[in-house]
Amino acid sequence: MAEVAAGALAAEQVIMTGVEAGAAVAVAKPTQPLKASLNQIILPVDDKAVQSDLARTHHTVTCIGDRAFIFGGQLASGQLCNTDVHTVALSATEPEPANPDGYVKVSETQRYSAQRYSRYPAFPLKDATTGQTLLPAPRTRHAATARGDYVLIHGGLDASGTATSAAENGTENPATIWLWDSGSLKWARINATVQIGATFAPRWDHAIFVDQVQDILILHGGHTETGPSAETWLYDFNSLTWTELPSAPVASLASNIAYSNGTLFSVSGGDGELGGSVHFLKLGHSSEDREKPLSWETVDFPSNPLTPGPRIRTGGALVPVSTGSGRRFLVYMFGSTEKAATTVTGDVGPSIISSTSPAQPSMLPEHDQPLYSDIWSLQLPSEGLTASTIKDAIRDKIPGVSSGAMTWSEVEVLPNEMVEHEGKAHPGPVAFFGAAGCLDEKDAVWPVQSHSLFFSSLHHLLFIDILSGKK
């Protein structure tokens, strides 16, 4: 509250004293729309087998520093991918300085390349107590996130359509978390406990996130054997226990869930309809914050020419990004109508899996693919004493102007001509891919912020830069 009051006071001083009157006009300019550059990633190896291995759907992408880790999912044939971990180390040419219009200008020849590509076969270890092999089974529609140098894997389905934790192999239970050490390249397993009186069901199509500062893991949504789930769980790495938190008003899948700065977000609405709702649960920044009763809040948004907004979708991605100075957004991109999730798996191509359980492959003609190619951003409320907080406080005091918090805008994709064999950077309509924020940068106020996305689908590896100089 003190930071907000300070921001309001600064705003009052700017408006009342008339200092830098032109600044008030400049600050009234909206933060959105954001601009984005889509760049195709070229692997350093010209190997069709490698490209075939990376062509998958319903997998996960986890970024640690400048490396993206790809795990699990399904091949175009419908076969589950093995348990190898694929790593792509990224680098890029420097973009040109920001121009007077306030956004980064991207050179037409700018290219993103994978400086190193590695494939790490599973390196199993045996549990000294039980003799069991410490290696996760192949899976699809699982959840993944990063904790330090570890990639964490939870849940998913096996080749028979059974939840991996329900399979009769004895290697995991619903509460099990798998860890892959990106340094030692070894797998480990956490057989966590569940709070007394709570039932932790096997699940898939859910999302997990690690709050690196608090060292906790958040799980939300997905499917269980009883249907779509709105459950929320917290795992404490100190107590090694899953604790149930309030369920969301509406069930969500991983593609509509995000976590940013202590708040869990979920997007819902009618299938392919205009308008929807953003639900959010503030978890706070410490265990003391969570001692108070937690409750979900909801902000509804229409979608019409005067108030733009995305169609609610599945199989897309909702990823937090920052443009610096405390300005944060959720990027909502691509995906499919919910009805199409029963028949479509990714780019135009074979169907692999239904929305609730696996199915036999089938083919839909290209014009029948109900997939989306648009990208949207949701501006999140600014917090703390930052340039964005002060700007928002000023904007809220200007008649007819608002801060723009919790409003949507379609992202403007900048043209970026590719050269030679690289082809188009924009993947077109696509769904059921893997995406994650990457190439984190330290901000003057916020500890770590992602401003870029790594994208992996059946036919594309992309690097998506979110570009904006307007805070």
**Domains in the chain with CATH codes:** 27-467 (2.120.10.80)
pTM above 0.85, yes or no: no
Strand-pair category, 317-324 with 296-301: unpaired
Kindly report the average pLDDT of the chain as a whole number: 77
For residues 184 and 287, give the distance between their C-alpha atoms in angstroms, rounded to a whole number: 32
13-19 CB contacts, 8 Å cutoff, 24+ apart = 14/394, 15/394, 15/397, 15/398
Q: Which comes out higher in pLDDT, residue 414 or 273?
A: 414
- Reported as half-sphere exposure (CB side, CA atoms, 13 A), residue 337 has a value of 11
pLDDT at residue 400, rounded to an integer: 64
Q: Cα–Cα distance between 278 and 246 in angstroms, integer?
A: 16
pLDDT band at 308; cut points 50, 70, 90: confident
> What is the pLDDT, as a whole number, of residue 183?
92
Higher pLDDT, 22 or 217: 217
pLDDT at residue 164 in the model: 85
82 vs 136: CA distance, rounded Å: 10
Please report which confidence band the pLDDT of residue 358 belongs to, taking 50, 70 and 90 as the band edges: very low
Dump pLDDT digits (tens) for 169-180.
Answer: 568 899 999 999
Listed ranges 50-54, 107-111, 288-292; the one with the highest mean pLDDT: 288-292
Q: Return the structure tokens found at 248.
A: 């969301």
Distances 86 to 61, 83, 243 between C-alpha atoms, Å: 10, 9, 32
Arithmetic mean of pLDDT, 401-405: 71
The fraction of the chain above a pLDDT of 70, given in percent, is: 71
Are 334 and 433 spatial neighbours (Cβ–Cβ below 8 Å)? yes
| 315 confidence band (pLDDT: 50, 70, 90) | very high
What confidence score (pLDDT) does residue 45 get?
66
Mean pLDDT of 390-395: 70
> What's the rounded Cα separation, in Å, for the pair 286 and 320?
20
> Could you give the CA distance from residue 212 to residue 150 in angstroms, rounded to a whole number?
12
| pLDDT tier, 104 (very low <50, low <70, confident <90, very high otherwise) | very low
Between 130-139, 213-222, 365-374, 440-449, the lowest mean confidence (pLDDT) is in 440-449
